[in-house]
Amino acid sequence: MIRYLTSGESHGKALVGIVEGVPAGLALSADYINHQLLRRQQGYGRGGRMRIESDKVEILSGVRFGSTLGSPIALVLRNKDSTNWLEKMAVEGDGKGIEKITIPRPGHADFVGYVKYGYDDVRNAIERASARETAMRVACCTIIRKFLEEFGIFIGSHVLCIGTAVLRDRAQLDRAMRKFMKASCGAYKIAEKADESQVRILDKPTEERAISEIRRVKKSGDTLGGVFEVLVTGVPVGLGSYVQYDRKLDGQLTQALMSVHAVKGVEIADGFLNAQKFGSQVHDAFTLAKSAIGRKTNRAGGLEGGVTNGQMIILHAAMKPISTLAHPLKSVDLKTKKMVDARYERSDVCAVPACSVIGEAVVAPVLANAFLEKFGGDSVKEIQSRYKKRGL
Ligand code: EPS
């Protein structure tokens, strides 16, 4: 099974990652990972940090002559901004003379981190809780994603809404996307189209409204959230299981999305909307053309009984507006116990487009593990021969 861990503070020297369990014989380069890191850095509404960084990983181990060895893969991503934080983030020393932050930002991990870990400086919580960590998460997960692509499984995403700029005609978008849905690389193609938009929205009028809303909200010192859709195509029938709660793939996929910073809601396809409809309007009737079993609709979002049914996987995630506000909410100074304005720490106005790229990444390990459980082996070649022998 594949597992990964990340380490690193937002303004520390580097982010570090280890990915274990990737089968041998997978072609891999740093450039391949860096392409996904670049995508994560994009999006209208991002803050000053993204102008400082140009995220690139170095592969330290687990790869030889462009091919994985089956051993743990170690990655490092250096934070360019760390040169401006050497004293504040020093590993050695006693921190004397460095300002301690005692005012938590509502909505962030500042307060809970301060209390939980017994810090005397909110900075300790800010640094690790920062969404900067997602850069290494994307790097680690991209390796796993590359493994899935070897088997024709592709992941993509696009943004459905930012603030009140909500995609108006979903049915029209679905018609436009239909040609991609059946192809194994369809999700990737949809993501490529979304990449052409600064907000990763596939509908022009909605895209324009989203951009002007971000511009307006930035002026008022506020932030914006939104909803994005993660799609997976080329998925075989039978990944996951209904026999035990923790083996249900829908539960695992939604957990992965929920673990991303600022994500506060997740659903499978239109899960919440479907709750208002009749069963006859929600379930996907079977079709039979010659001997091919099919469906005309995919309201189940590719999952039935917690198991993939061969249709495209559709996941939605809602990102709350970023917690750091230029026009801050009220807070309490934890040292003086006086009411004050929350601190302003440089941040983004809207990071929904970046979050959708992160969403693509984090579902990869879940899918890869379900895939390995069914078709697993130690090398890509070995798994390929097993995969070829599958049924439906
Ligand atoms: C981020 C880097 C951070 C933030 C952002 C995400 O950099 P800095 O703290 O230096 O501005 O821009 O993190 C948040 C919005 C947050 O609330 O944690 C990145 O690399 O994506």
**Two tokens, residue 213:** 């809303």
Distance CA 386, CA 368 (A): 15
Contact 19, 72 (CB under 8 A): yes
Q: How many other CB atoms are found less than 10 A from the CB of residue 215?
A: 12
135 lines ligand 1 (CB under 6 A): yes
Distance CA 51, CA 41 (A): 9
Q: What is the mean pLDDT of residues 326-352?
A: 95
88 lines ligand 1 (CB under 6 A): no
Cα–Cα nearest to 333, from 170, 102, 114: 102
Q: What confidence tens digit (pLDDT) does each residue in 200-225 have?
A: 999 999 999 999 999 999 999 999 99
Distance CA 357, CA 355 (A): 5
324 lines ligand 1 (CB under 6 A): yes
Q: What confidence tens digit (pLDDT) does each residue in 66-115 have?
A: 999 999 999 999 999 999 999 999 999 999 999 999 999 999 999 999 99
Count, residues in the chain: 392
Distance CA 216, CA 220 (A): 7
pTM of the model: 0.97
* Burial status of residue 51 (CB atoms within 10 A of its CB: 0-12, 13-18, 19 or more): exposed
Q: How far is CA 27 from CA 120, 155, 312, 314, in A?
A: 46, 18, 26, 28
The residue whose two tokens read 């004050």 is 340
Q: Is residue 180 scored above 90 in pLDDT?
A: no
132 lines ligand 1 (CB under 6 A): yes
Best residue among 52, 130, 261 to mutate for probing ligand 1, ranked by most atoms within 8 Å of CB: 130
Q: What confidence tens digit (pLDDT) does each residue in 294-323 have?
A: 999 999 999 999 999 999 999 999 999 999
Q: Is residue 272 scored above 90 in pLDDT?
A: yes
- Fold classification of 3-387 (topology level): Chorismate synthase, AroC fold (3.60.150)
The residue whose two tokens read 């990964």 is 4
**Burial track 91-117 (b if 16+ CB lie within 10 A, e otherwise):** eeeeeeeeeebbbbbebbbbbebbeee
Position 206: which residue type? Answer: T
Average confidence score pLDDT of the chain: 96
131 lines ligand 1 (CB under 6 A): yes
47 lines ligand 1 (CB under 6 A): yes
Q: Tell me the CA–centroid distance for residue 295 and ligand 1, in Å.
A: 42
Cα–Cα nearest to 216, from 44, 40, 39: 44
Backbone φ/ψ region at 45: left (φ over 0), alpha (ψ -120 to 50), beta: left
Q: How far is CA 389 from CA 156, 340, 384, in A?
A: 27, 65, 9
The residue extents of the domains of the chain are 3-387
Cα–Cα nearest to 169, from 275, 198, 177: 177
